[in-house]
Structure 1
Amino acid sequence: MKEATLRQILVVTDGCSNSGISPVAAATLAREQGITVNVIGVIEKGDMGEQGEKEIREIAEAGGGLFDIVYPQQLAQTVQMLTRKAMTRTIHQVVSKELKEILGDSAMEGLVPEKRVQVAGMVDELGERSRLDVVMLVDSSGSMKPKLAAVQQAIHDFSISLRSRSGQSRMAVCSFPGKQNHLDVRIPWTEEVDQAHQLTSGLTMSGITPTGPAIIEAIALFEHVKLPTGLRDRYGHNELEDGDQGSLRDHVF
């Protein structure tokens, strides 16, 4: 089994989307392109409300990812935890699929305990060696302003954790809404993220939260993705290479 390229979008927000395409539909499209969408809701007091929690959960479910709702001081740890858990789950799904193709539908159930331990070890090792591309998508609506210091610290700590992996890692950091588009790329794709201060440099806080459109534009930042024609014309597009359908399977085997 070849090493995988794992692709993730991590949305950090404190409220509901209120502009543009449904973020659940956008997350579904990301998943179809082999991109996992994780979501972290950041709260200061109380909770996000029933609608906010529902949206965060549904975005993560549609994007094949994980979600959590945390206080700012928990953000850095949660970013690392969700990213690692999502990586492990994705690889486990791929390994299980391969085993089923080789051994049949009851592949995992039929393995003796020793073999299950070996499979778990293989998943962990593959997760550590695999290439990881992450777009961190930060809500810059007005209510997020007092939480941006925690976001910057989370970016810094996350970059350190990426450098400790044996596999190649890179990340990009974007804020939404952008000045002209639905998102602004604050830190372009890089393997050395030590410029967390760039997140707030020249940042304009806004009252709208276009989570769905921002996810679509984040999808377009990855190589080898194919957006539907209408979305491609509106949000931008990176052309597929011939024969490449952009799925995780194409990157793994």
Structure 2
Amino acid sequence: MLRQILLITDGCSNVGVQPAVAAAQARDAGIAVNVVGIVDEGTIGEYGAAEITDIARAGGGISRIVNQRQLAQTMQMMTRKTVVQTIHQAVNHELKHILGCEEESIRVEVLPPEQRAEVVRVMDEMGEETPLRVALLIDTSASMKPKLPAVEDAIHDLMLSLQARRGKSELSVFHFPGSHGNEHAVMDMDWAADMNRVRRLFQRLNIRGTTPTGPALLHVVDFYQYDSRARAEDIPYYSSSSNREGTGTDGVWSDYIV
């Protein structure tokens, strides 16, 4: 099973562990972290965009900065692209084992034509048929309030896209922060493919001021790790602690707060 976190935020985290550190922990747990940024203009927007890029890089995923009109299409594209990326990593690992190759990466195009065609066919099938779970993590801090209607429409379109896959696809939804000071994230919907549930959950979202992106990511990682239904059939996502870029701190916000 492929596992992803899709974070929707405008950046500017200001509470708890730094989000890039949390994303790296997700990557080590076999969970890709993708980030869609809906940022504002000016210095705050530039800071938010930089943070979004860092989170995706640390989480082994991809990031995009979009306006509200592009959100739905971007979420679908990113989810599919990361599925393909993960499948390529798994197939590359198997090819190295089969061919006894020590190279870091094997390019499919250098294989003999018959082998290349078979590998491409297998990758295409895996991309469409491998079970997929996407945990959607929505920033509901105060600055995101005017953007939430676009997020709601985007989730609806994303679920339609997931249902079009041949393999089983499930979506869970979280928002952050929670209603209480020590509640960094809240699960709004467990694994499901029921669009009516998605529509209803937006009626009870609370908009708050702080942005605990790092703790919220760790909350979703814990949800994945302790969900017994997600353990047995996972395809290992590539994980490498040595590839992380240092934060220059112990990973917790101190005076670096906006």
What is the 5 A alignment of 1:120-199? 120-180=120-180, 181-199=183-201
Q: Choose the corresponding residue for 2:18, options 10, 17, 22.
A: 22
Q: Choose the corresponding residue for 1:205, options 199, 207, 224.
A: 207
Q: Could you say if the C-alpha distance between residues 192 and 200 of structure 1 is closer, same or farther in structure 2, counting changes exceeding 3 Å?
A: closer
Counterpart of 2:240 in structure 1 is none
3-state SS of paired residue (1:85): helix
After TM superposition, give the deviation of residue 201 of structure 1 in Å. 1.6
Question: Take 1:152 and 1:187, find their aligned partners in 2: how far apart are those partners?
Answer: 14
| Structure 2 gaps, min length 5 | 238-258
| 8 Å CA contact 2:39, 2:49 repeated in 1 | no
1:196-221, Cα deviation, whole Å (9 max, x unpaired): 33342222211110000000001122
Q: Does 1:108 pair with 2:110? A: no
TM-score for both structures, normalised by structure 1: 0.83
3-state SS of paired residue (2:72): helix
Question: Counterpart amino acid of 2:107?
Answer: M
After TM superposition, give the deviation of residue 163 of structure 1 in Å. 1.1
Counterpart of 2:235 in structure 1 is 248
Q: Could you say if the C-alpha distance between residues 246 and 212 of structure 1 is closer, same or farther in structure 2, counting changes exceeding 3 Å?
A: farther
Counterpart of 2:36 in structure 1 is 40
3-state SS of paired residue (1:220): helix
Question: Counterpart amino acid of 1:42?
Answer: I
Question: Counterpart amino acid of 1:119?
Answer: V
Question: Counterpart amino acid of 2:123?
Answer: V
| Structure 1 gaps, min length 5 | 226-237
Q: Does 1:58 pair with 2:54? A: yes
| 8 Å CA contact 2:10, 2:40 repeated in 1 | no
Q: Does 1:73 pair with 2:69? A: yes
After TM superposition, give the deviation of residue 76 of structure 1 in Å. 0.5
1:131-159, Cα deviation, whole Å (9 max, x unpaired): 01111000001111111111000111111
Question: Counterpart amino acid of 1:201?
Answer: Q
Q: Could you say if the C-alpha distance between residues 118 and 89 of structure 1 is closer, same or farther in structure 2, counting changes exceeding 3 Å?
A: same
Question: Counterpart amino acid of 2:125?
Answer: E
Q: Does 1:7 pair with 2:34? A: no
Q: Could you say if the C-alpha distance between residues 52 and 191 of structure 1 is closer, same or farther in structure 2, counting changes exceeding 3 Å?
A: same
The count of corresponding residues between Structure 1 and Structure 2 is 230
Question: Counterpart amino acid of 1:218?
Answer: V
Higher RCO structure, 1 or 2 (CA under 8 Å, sep 6+): 2
Point out the more displaced range, 171-180 or 32-41.
171-180
Q: Does 1:214 pair with 2:216? A: yes
Question: Take 2:44 and 2:194, find their aligned partners in 1: how far apart are those partners?
Answer: 33
Question: Take 1:47 and 1:192, find their aligned partners in 2: how far apart are those partners?
Answer: 39
Q: Choose the corresponding residue for 1:91, options 87, 95, 103.
A: 87
Report percent identity of matched pairs: 45
TM-score for both structures, normalised by structure 2: 0.82
Question: Take 2:95 and 2:175, find their aligned partners in 1: how far apart are those partners?
Answer: 40
The CA RMSD over aligned residues, in Å, is 2.3
After TM superposition, give the deviation of residue 18 of structure 1 in Å. 0.5
Q: Could you say if the C-alpha distance between residues 171 and 123 of structure 1 is closer, same or farther in structure 2, counting changes exceeding 3 Å?
A: same
Question: Take 1:174 and 1:150, find their aligned partners in 2: how far apart are those partners?
Answer: 16
Question: Take 2:127 and 2:81, find their aligned partners in 1: how far apart are those partners?
Answer: 10
